[in-house]
Amino acid sequence: MTMLKNNNYQVRKALNGESAIKAIKLEPPDRILLDIKMFDIIGAFQITEVAQNP
């Protein structure tokens, strides 16, 4: 995350999959970098959720 910030990227962090989906819907990002194995929702499900419900 520090590397991205040092290269002038705006970084938002979510603590779990559910909060990530809510944040994405509230303010859609240009890019998403996520951990495929989050604690409560796996990354593949997140991608499907966001793609089906923009």
Domain count, the chain: 1
- This prediction has a pTM of 0.60
* Residue corresponding to tokens 């509230």: 26
Write the pLDDT tens digit of every residue in 1-54.
789 899 999 998 887 777 888 888 899 888 888 766 655 666 666 667 766 766
User: Could you list the residue range(s) of the whole structural domain that residue 24 is in?
Assistant: 2-52
Q: What is the pLDDT of residue 8?
A: 93
User: What was the pLDDT predicted at 6?
Assistant: 93
Write down the pLDDT at residue 7. Answer: 93
Tell me, letter by letter, the H, E, C secondary structure of the chain: CHHHHHCCCCCCCCCCHHHHHHHHHHCCCCCCCCCCECCCCEHHHHHHHHHHCC
Q: What pLDDT is attached to residue 38? A: 59
**Inter-CA distances, 42 with 2, 3, 32, Å:** 24, 24, 14
